[in-house]
Structure formats: structure tokens, C-alpha cells
Amino acid sequence: MTFASVRIITDDVDRLAAFYERVTGQTAVRPAPVFAQFSGPGATLAIASPATVAMLGDALAPAANRSVIVEFEVDDVEAEFARLEPELTDIVLPPSTMPWGNRSALFRDPDGNLVNLFSRPAG
């Protein structure tokens, strides 16, 4: 089995894709107006309109998540947080050291999904 991606369903693909373009420094691949994706060495983050999952009925609800964290490993949490902070509207945790040693900064994307920028301890 190969892990393929995590997909966020949103009512505003353009807004969320633009947000993650700023976070990742990548330009989203946009094969259709209702879909965007970011691929990296670890995983793919997909962003899609409810139209892409219409056959699932009400199984998905945009902007309703409070149980998943979208995580990006970075070299310097403080530098990445400082770069993004002027645009962030909901900072959950400024750069902090977690009990297990990771350095993390957590904030919400425009749909309210939790995003974690983290680095592992040296050593």
C-alpha cells in the first residue's frame, strides 16, 4: 500500500490554494478549476471543491474539521513562522518546544484546518 494524499474539501479552492502556495512556497498544480495539489517528497496535499465528491452526499462538509493537523517539516520554524505571521489570522501556538522535543508553530488555514510547521530536535 502506498500513501497517496490528504484532500481538503473547501468551498473556495482558489483561496485555500493561494494560502498553501504561501505556506509551501510552491505553485499549486491545477488540472481543473475545482482541484489543486501540492506534491513533495513526503506526501501530496490536495484541495478540492465539494463537486469532486458529490457522489458521497453529505459525508464531507467544507470548513468543519477539528480532528486533523496538516503538518509540514521545515528547517527553521521561527523563520517560516515570521514569514507567514503577517498573513495569519488564527495563531493557535507560536513557535514552541513540544514535550517530545519538536519545535512547532500551529495556526489555522482560512477554512479553520489546523496547520503545524515543525522541526525535529538535532541529534
CATH, residue 119: 3.10.180.10
Task: At 65, list the grid cell.
Answer: 474539521
Query: Which structural domain range is residue 41 located in?
Result: 1-51
Please state the domain count of the chain.
2
Report the sign of the C-alpha dihedral through residues 75, 79, 84, 89, in that order.
positive
- Report yes or no on 60 lying in a domain: no
Per-residue pLDDT of the chain (123 residues; tens, 9 = 90+): 888 999 999 999 999 999 999 999 999 999 999 999 999 888 999 999 999 999 999 999 999 989 999 999 999 999 999 999 999 999 999 999 999 999 999 999 999 999 999 999 987
